[in-house]
Amino acid sequence: MSYTENHLVEQPAILLFAELGWKTVSAMEEVSGPSGTLKRETKSEVVLASRLREALARLNPGLPIDAIAQATDELTRDRSAMSLAAANRDVWELVKEGVKVSVPDRERGGRKTERVRVLDWDNPQANDFLLVSQMTITGEF
């Protein structure tokens, strides 16, 4: 028996999440690009933006694609100038309450504010849960 972190911690955790219904992907030998393992162009991309956009569109079918793009931009904007605690609070609030976006008001004209849901709290099975192991991230830290 191997007494490694991989054997004792990582693999049992991955199995547990798989049992809970999460999709699991090993990015150990990731292929980059739109049809690659994680659909990211480079290893400097931390957020899987195409997957995020797809999930937001699925959870918010009545909102225009522009609203989904606004929400994606807000969720993934650079928060490196903030303290870690402030950045975490900021993102948690967006996840919890949804992302405010401006959309055309087709009934009255002009624009109105809507919220893009990030998670379906009432129906967890509608969410996209992904565990990625061994994901390499490059860039400045």
3-state secondary structure 22-83: CEEEECCCCCCCCCCCCCCCCCCCCCCHHHHHHHHHHHCCCCCHHHHHHHHHHHHCCCCCCC
What pLDDT band is residue 106 in, cutting at 50, 70 and 90?
confident
Q: Express each pLDDT in 37-86 by its tens digit.
A: 999 999 999 999 999 999 999 999 999 999 999 999 999 999 999 999 99
What does the pLDDT read at residue 6? Answer: 87
Position 16 in a domain? yes
Position 138 in a domain? no
Position 125 in a domain? yes
What does pLDDT average to over the chain?
A: 94
pTM for this predicted structure: 0.87
Q: Decide: 133 and 59 in contact? Cβ < 8 Å.
A: no
Q: Express each pLDDT in 116-138 by its tens digit.
A: 999 999 999 999 999 999 999 99
Position 129 in a domain? yes
What does the pLDDT read at residue 78? Answer: 94
Position 41 in a domain? yes
Position 141 in a domain? no
User: Which residue segment(s) compose the domain that 104 sits in?
Assistant: 5-133
How many domains, the chain?
1
Position 139 in a domain? no
Q: Positive or negative, the Cα torsion across 40, 93, 134, 24?
A: negative
